[in-house]
Amino acid sequence: MTRHLITTVLIFLQFGILHAGEPDSLFIKQQKPFPRVAIPVMTAATVGAFLLDKPLRDHHVSHPTAFKNDFSEISDYFGDKKFVVPAVATAYGAGRFVFRDPKLQMTAFQSFQAILTTAIATETIKITTGRARPYTGKGPHSFEPFSFSDNKRKALPSGHASLAFAVFTPFAENYSRWIYAIPGSVALGRVWQDKHWTSDVVVGSCIGFISGFLFAHNENVQLIPNGVVVKF
């Protein structure tokens, strides 16, 4: 566990190491409106995923491979709060006190804000829907709302997928879009492990992406001690 935590921290610190030589004046927060096509695309992907939940699950369960299992177990760490939260906190501290890199510092703070809002939204939906996980054998249409303590009834949305996109979206937007491959692999791994339906990870990914994008590109959206403030 310690080895995986250190690896996760080092991945975040790479951003500061690669950009440590840049002067402070080079970092300007990019203001971007939320893409107009994003909501229609997310809606279509979610509807399609719900329709394909069972056939896709039947296919990957009937074609298991050791690579899938090994890959998904590794990718899980990048959507696990026990690893990414300390990693983001370390990246923030390194950006502020070690590298003196305002870009790394601000990106880590954006990521942290996205983590908090995404976690609240994800857990609220999990509890209010009570969807059964695929490995229970109850099918994709089994819902028991307000199953507070039953983890087998917390499939929708995927917490790992939502958290991974919340964490990495600010870094992807501020550094490189290739970083999206990390949360994408987390989402794929959760389906391969039979812990989530495809629609679970699609919905979770959308929640995390929206949160991460808004905090990364909209200065009117900010987290304060009393909650989230959206200015118009």
Orientation of helix 181-192 relative to helix 66-75, angle to 10°: 130
Which ranges of the chain have pLDDT less than 70?
A: 1-28, 67, 220-232
Write down the pLDDT at residue 16.
Answer: 53
Name the nearest CA neighbour of 108 among 14, 224, 225: 14
pLDDT of residue 21: 46
pLDDT at 232: 42
Asked whether residue 198 is assigned to any structural domain, the reply reads yes
Residue 218 domain-assigned? yes
Q: What's the pLDDT score for residue 185?
A: 95
* Total domain count, the chain: 1
Tell me what pLDDT residue 74 has. Answer: 83
Question: Is 56 part of any domain?
Answer: yes
- Most distant CA atoms of the chain, gap in Å: 56
Per the domain annotation, does 63 fall within a domain?
A: yes
Angle at 76 between CA 19 and CA 105, to 5 degrees: 25
In a domain, residue 28? The reply is: no
What is the pLDDT, as a whole number, of residue 97?
Answer: 93
With respect to residue 29, please indicate whether it lies within any of the assigned structural domains: no
Across the chain, the runs of DSSP E, i.e. the strands, are 221-224, 227-230
Q: What is the pLDDT of residue 5?
A: 56
Do you know the residue count of the chain? 232
> How far apart (Å, rounded) are the C-alpha atoms in residues 58 and 38?
29
Would residue 9 count as lying in a domain?
no
197: Cβ–Cβ under 8 A, 6 or more apart, which residues? 49, 53, 57, 131, 134, 140, 155, 156, 191
- Does 18 fall in a domain? no
pTM: 0.89
Residue 110 structural domain: 35-230
Give tens-digit pLDDT for 49-94. 999 999 999 998 888 777 677 777 788 999 999 999 999 999 999 9
